[in-house]
Structure formats: structure tokens, C-alpha cells
Amino acid sequence: MAERIVIVGGGPAGQAAAALLPEARLIARPDETAWHGEPGTVWLLRDGAVEPLGFDTLVIAAPVPRLAIAFGCAMRGWQPVVDEAGRTSVPGIHAAGAIIGAVTAEEAARHGRIIAQSILGLAPEGTILSADLPEDEEERRSLSHGFTPREAAVARLGEHGDTTDLFGPRLGEPILLFPASPVPLAALAARTTTPPAQRARQYDAFMQREQE
Amino acid sequence: MSGWGAIVIGGGLHGLSAALQLGRRGAKVLLLEADRVGAHASGASAAGVRTLGRDPAEIPIAVAALEMWRGIAGLVGEDCGFVQSGQVKVAETEAELAQLGERVAKVRALGWEHEEVIDRAELRRVLPAVAPHCVGGMIVRTDGFAIAYRTVLAFRRAAEAAGVVVREHSPVRGLERSGGTWRVRLDGGVTEGAPIVVNAAGAWGPRVAMLAGERIPIGYSAFMMLLTSPLPPFVTPVVGATGRPLSFKQLASGHVMIGGGHKGTGDLETGTYRLDIDRAAYSARTALELFPALEGSEIVHAWCGIEGVGEDDLPIIGLGRSEGLVHAFGFSGHGFAIAPAVGEMVAQLALYGQSNLPVAPFNPFRFS
Ligand SMILES: Cc1cc2nc3c(=O)[nH]c(=O)nc-3n(C[C@H](O)[C@H](O)[C@H](O)COP(=O)(O)OP(=O)(O)OC[C@H]3O[C@@H](n4cnc5c(N)ncnc54)[C@H](O)[C@@H]3O)c2cc1C
């Protein structure tokens, strides 16, 4: 099977990567939204329906930190940690553009091209330097350059009602929240008509090792 | 080593409540939290305050706790968003209604009067927006709900006002008893000491017990929650279903919180969880079938909280085998409501070796 490449985000980083990766599937709003992810799968909202899309290689080129977190990417504050070729800590997942601190469209597009070149096994035109992040955790959380997670989240709070009372006063809420963007309840409800079996309780692998 | 009277392990609602009650009784308390206060089950909780449908073993505690919730501002200095909205369990079929009738009769026979069966007409009066197929239900009119994270912060402030020292990012790595003192080992070669240790480590309770050489090998689950965009007010009580997992409420802000049993998966090594989208979808479907008013809403947040779960879905509360050790964890998805009362029980167990409320059904070693 050919490698399935998915690019999330139709901004400058996503467009630049897609231009070099014609086989890739580009997920761009408003037609399609990648609203959640789990290893090997992004969850799409498309024509009012919720559906999974499998991938081998993923480029996150949209300011959706909760998507990166859902895949288990190592984060520094609200930015996925990337190497000089835009690789996150999760094999097969790359991050480009505003989500890793690009402040201009040119820089974002350059990220997109470098990632595409590295996926194709070509010599990259340069290296990706993600924005230097302050040491202080609170400061990192309140970073406000470009199209940042904070702005996106604040806009979302405005749009969907203030939930700070529920989860804390800062974006550094102690409970990790998903999805990366809102999804219509009815679209989600339409996925399943039969009751799923109740999932059994889990057991601590550590305790089981101790027992042996 | 600095002369603590008690060390509480875990900064969820149960650790904070126990610390508060120990502090109020004059003990010098150190609370150690591996992450941040409220980072797990307590911050993620649906925060329903429910006596409705409790296991008979938990009823005395739930009833005592509800009394405390009614005066919660007196205990912790703010109302924690607590409202006595009532809680209703809806019957979708006549068979389910009959089942609820038997349940209420059984609880009344034990001497408890808080639960009541309601017919179709009364169900529509308390839940005007409920779907037409629902035939009746079971209600406790004085139950309600609070706001989870606000409650955690209020208990923390109250505990600190009672002299408790709260230390976050401080995972406990070792426990050793010698000469009437627990030596509690932390990272970086730091050790603290106290004659009393409370294990309130939630899903990690079995690991902490193991540090003291005690095997209490219960399981855990990552209970899943959904929150909708704000809607005009359409439901006042907390609503559960009888034949399928659901718990459902509308907050003052208009957001609707949907939970009640479907699970994602949790990882105790990392403290992280994964949603289960198809099970979340079925929660959404159940909610929509009971309340068609949800039709145009969006899911704006979804999350899980990792919680210890006993084989009998009851908590572990009681003295350890070692001297000076009290276990209080594994509240099996319904420990928020009873936390104010359990804090008192734990303080009594720690200081006097017994509690005013019946603790025997929660014996830590009942599975071994
Ligand atoms: C999604 C969800 C919905 C719920 N809804 C309701 C409801 O509607 N009504 C109700 O009554 N109950 C509900 N519950 C249950 C209730 O929230 C829990 O029973 C309660 O919050 C448990 O509190 P806790 O303090 O025992 O655990 P936690 O809040 O999980 O606290 C345990 C703490 O111990 C810390 N810890 C672990 N190991 C160590 C260590 N070695 N050193 C230091 N610290 C350590 C952890 O970091 C954690 O913060 C719900 C639970 C969940 C998850």
C-alpha cells in the first residue's frame, strides 16, 4: 500500500507542503475539519458527518495544539517540540507554521517545504528553528505571537461561552481538554446506533509486574 | 524532617478534604501532590451530588455529605457552585420503571426515605423537555451538583487556612515505618516524616499502598465527559438513565455536561488518557434521544478523568495493616458527592482509630 500522507491545514504551511506532495490528502476548512486524533487516525468533520481517516505520515500545519496533544506529541507549553526537519516526538508526525511559532506566512511556507522535502528524502532547503520559548512555564503558556493557541482558544471561549469556572482561570488548565475544534453533537451521535459494550476496568501493569 | 502530625498523599478532593479535617482537629498537615491539585478525577469530575441510587453501604455517608453540602460555604468559605437541583433517573420502558419501584421499596425498607418513584405526569413536570417515550422515573429532590474545579480550589484554600501545607509537583516515591514514624521519600533525596500517613492517591492508591508493603490491587477507569455549547435553559435537575449509562446536566452558563459511564483509556505511567470516539458518540446519542433540544448544539470540550475502581464499585476506606496508615481511594466514579463526609471519616480513623459513620463495607483488604 502506498504511504498515506495527510496534511492538516490549508494555510501557507499546508499549501506549501501540498504543492510538493501531490499524493497527499489536504484537510482544509471549511470543507473538512480535523477535530481530533488518535495514533494513526485523524477524525474529520466533513459534510456534517464524523469519520476517521487513517494515515502513515501526518503534517499538522494548523494552529491546533490539542490535535498534537491527542497524538501524544511532546509539547513545550502549547507548542509541539520539533527537530530541524519539523519532526515531532511521534514518528510520522510533523508540525509546521504557526503551531511551532512561525510569525510570517513566508516562514510558515518554508516550514511546509522543508517538511515535504524531508518526507520525499530530498535535501531540505534549510532547517526549522521553532520559536525560542521562555523558561518560565506561565510565560510559555501566555505566549502571544502570531496566530497562537492562546488567541485561538480565547476566541473559542468567546464563541462558545466561558468555561473558565469549570476548568480553571488560565489556559494551563489542569485537565487536558479535547477536541481540537468543536464538533456538532448530532453528527457525532449519528456515528453509532448500537450500544457499545461497556469497557472493562483497566489494571495497572506496574502492579501486575510487582505481583509476579 | 520537620515534625508533621500527618502527611496526606494526593491532592484530589479526598486528600484535600482529609487534610482540612485533620487540620481543623489541630494536626500539622503536609499534603503532597504529584502533579497539580485537582489534576485527575477531582478536576475532571461531573461533580454530581447524589444520594439517588447509591449502594446501600454508601447511603449513610451520602446522606451525611448532602447535609454538609447544604452548608458548604460554612465549611470552605464559598458555595462551590452547589445547587440543589434534584437528581432524576429516567425510565425509558415500563420494565425499567418497575425496576426503579423495587429499588425504592428496598431502600425504604432499610429506613431511608429520600428516594421517590414518579409517574409519567410528574416526570414531565420536573423535566418538561424529556423525550415522549419516557414513562416515569426515580427522584431525590434535594440532590444537586457543584462545580468540580471550583470545589477543589475552595477545599485547598480552606485546608491552607486550617494550617495545611500543600506541596504540588511532589510525587511520593517511598514509605518506610520506623520508631512510630513514617518516613516519606520524595524526589531529590528529600524525606518528610509523620506518625500518620493518608493514602488519597486516587487511581494510584494501589501503588502508594504497595510502597507501604500493602497489596490492595483494585483497577481503574478513564471516565469520559462531553460538554456542549451553551443552550437556552431547558433542564434543571441532573438526569440519569436506567437502562444505559448516562448522566446529564445543564449548568448555569447554559453548557450541558454529558457523562455517566462510557470510558476512554488511561495510562497510570504518564497520567494521560485517550478518548474513545465511538463510545463518546453513543453518549451523545443517548443524550440526544432523551433530550431532542440538544439537536443544534456542538461538543466544545471532551475529556476523561482517571479514577480507581473497586471490584464491587465501592471505595477503599479504612486503616492499613501498618500502624498510622489510612487508605481512602478508588471512589469508583462516584466519590465527589461524599468527599466532605469522607474527609471527616478519614480524620477520625487517623486520630482515633474509628469513625462515626459505618466504614466496614469499605475494608481495604476485602478483596484479598
Ligand atoms: C469524569 C468523571 C466524572 C465523575 N462524576 C462524578 C459525579 O458526578 N459525582 C460523584 O460523586 N463523583 C463523580 N466522579 C468521581 C469523583 O470525581 C472521584 O471519586 C473523586 O474526585 C476522587 O477524588 P480523589 O481525591 O480520590 O482522586 P483524584 O482527584 O484522582 O486525586 C488523587 C491525586 O493523587 C495524586 N497522586 C497519585 N500518586 C501520588 C504520589 N505517589 N504522590 C503524590 N500524589 C500522588 C494524583 O496526582 C491525584 O491528583 C467522577 C469522576 C470522573 C473521572
At B278-297, the pLDDT tens digits run: 999 999 999 999 999 999 99
In this predicted structure, the answer to whether residue A170 has a pLDDT above a threshold of 50 is no
CA gap B252, A107 in Å, rounded: 44
| Mean pLDDT of chain A, nearest integer | 83
Give the model's pLDDT for residue A103.
85
- Contact list in A for residue B269 (CB cut-off 8 A) is 205-206
Would you state the pLDDT for residue A159?
Answer: 55
Q: CB pairs below 8 Å between A and B: how many?
A: 166
**CA B129 vs CA A176, B86, B282: distances in Å:** 32, 16, 20
Indicate yes or no: CB of A195 within 8 angstroms of CB of B244: yes
CATH number of B6-68+148-217+312-362: 3.50.50.60
Between the CA of B308 and the centroid of ligand 1 the distance, in Å, is 8
Q: Which residues of A touch B273 (CB under 8 A)?
A: 176
- Give B255 Cα–ligand 1 centroid separation in angstroms: 23
Q: What is the pLDDT of residue A151?
A: 42
ipTM: 0.92
- CB of A127 within 8 Å of a chain B CB? The answer is no
Are A204 and B210 in contact (CB < 8 Å)? Answer: no
- What's the pLDDT band for A210 if we cut at 50, 70, 90? low
Q: Is B13 in the pocket of ligand 1 (CB under 6 A)?
A: yes
pLDDT tens-digit series, residues B26-45:
999 999 999 999 999 999 99
Q: How confident is the model at residue B143 (pLDDT cuts 50, 70, 90)?
A: very high
Q: From the CB of B146, is ligand 1 less than 6 Å away?
A: no
Give me the residue spans of the domains in chain B: 6-68+148-217+312-362, 83-143+219-309
* Ligand 1 in reach of B266 Cβ (< 6 A): no
Res A24: pLDDT: 97
Contacts of A204 in chain B (CB under 8 A): 206-207, 217, 219-220, 268
Q: How confident is the model at residue A10 (pLDDT cuts 50, 70, 90)?
A: very high
How sure is the predictor about A140, in pLDDT bands with cuts at 50, 70 and 90? very low
Q: How far apart are CA A24 and CA B32, in angstroms?
A: 49
SS3 A123: coil
Mutate to test the pocket of ligand 1, among B331, B338, B345 (most ligand atoms within 8 A of CB): B331
Q: Residue A8 C-alpha to ligand 1 middle, in angstroms? A: 35
Lowest mean pLDDT among A55-59, A147-151, B218-222: A147-151
- Predicted confidence (pLDDT) at residue A133 exceeds the cutoff of 80: no
Query: What CATH number was assigned to the domain covering residues B83-143+219-309?
Result: 3.30.9.10
H helices present in A98-198, as ranges: 105-120, 137-141, 149-160, 164-167, 185-189
pLDDT of residue A206: 75
Domains belonging to chain A, first-starting first, are 5-211 (3.50.50.60)
d(CA B300, CA B286): 18
The residue whose CA has the least distance to atom 33 of ligand 1 is B10
d(CA B38, CA B12): 5
